[in-house]
Amino acid sequence: MDWVNRGAKSWILAAMLLAVGCWAQTPAPPKPSVAEPGISVGGTQIAFVSGSRIWVAPARGGPAHLVVDDSATEQRPLFSPDGTRLAFISARTGNGDIYVATFATGALRRITWDDGADQLDAWSRDGRWLYFHTSSHDISGMNDVYRVSAEGGTPMPVAADRYENEFFAAPSPDGKTIAISARGIASSQWWRNGRSHLDEAEIWLVHPGAPPRYERVTPMGAKQLWPMWSADGKRLFFVSDRNGPQNIWEKTLGGAARQIPSFARGACCGRRSAATGAPSCSSAISRSGGSTPALARPLPCRFS
Task: Report how far apart, in Å, the C-alpha atoms of 149 and of each of 75, 96, 98 are.
Answer: 20, 18, 11
Its pTM stands at 0.81
Q: What's the CA gap between 280 and 278, in Å, rounded?
A: 7
Backbone angles phi, psi at 198, to 5 degrees: -70, -25
C-alpha 208/C-alpha 215 separation (Å) is 11
Q: Which residue has the higher pLDDT, 31 or 143?
A: 143
Under DSSP, the state recorded for 42 is G
Q: How far is residue 175 from each of residues 9, 206, 237, 276, measured CA to CA in Å?
A: 79, 11, 17, 14
Q: Which is more confidently placed, 303 or 224?
A: 224
pLDDT reading at 286 higher than 50: no
The structural domains of the chain, with segments of one domain joined by +, span: 35-280
Q: 101-104 contacts: CB < 8 A, separation 24 or more?
A: 101/67, 101/68, 101/303, 103/299, 103/300, 103/301, 104/301
- Using 50, 70 and 90 to split pLDDT, how confident is the model at 199? confident
The b/e string for 125-147 (b: 16+ C-beta within 10 A; e otherwise) is beeebbbbbbbbbbeeebbbbbb
Which amino acid appears at position 107 of this protein? Answer: A
Residue 287 has pLDDT above 80, yes or no: no
The answer on pLDDT for 285 being more than 70 is: no
Phi, psi dihedral angles at 18 (to 5 degrees): -65, -40
CA gap 142, 166 in Å, rounded: 7
Could you report the per-residue pLDDT of 112-152, keeping only the tens digit for each?
A: 998 889 999 999 999 999 999 999 888 888 999 999 999 99
pLDDT of residue 5: 54
Domain 35-280 in CATH 2.40.10.220? The answer is no
Side by side, the strands of the sheet bearing 213-216 are: 166-171, 178-182, 202-207, 213-216
Q: Is the model's pLDDT at 102 over the cut of 70?
A: yes
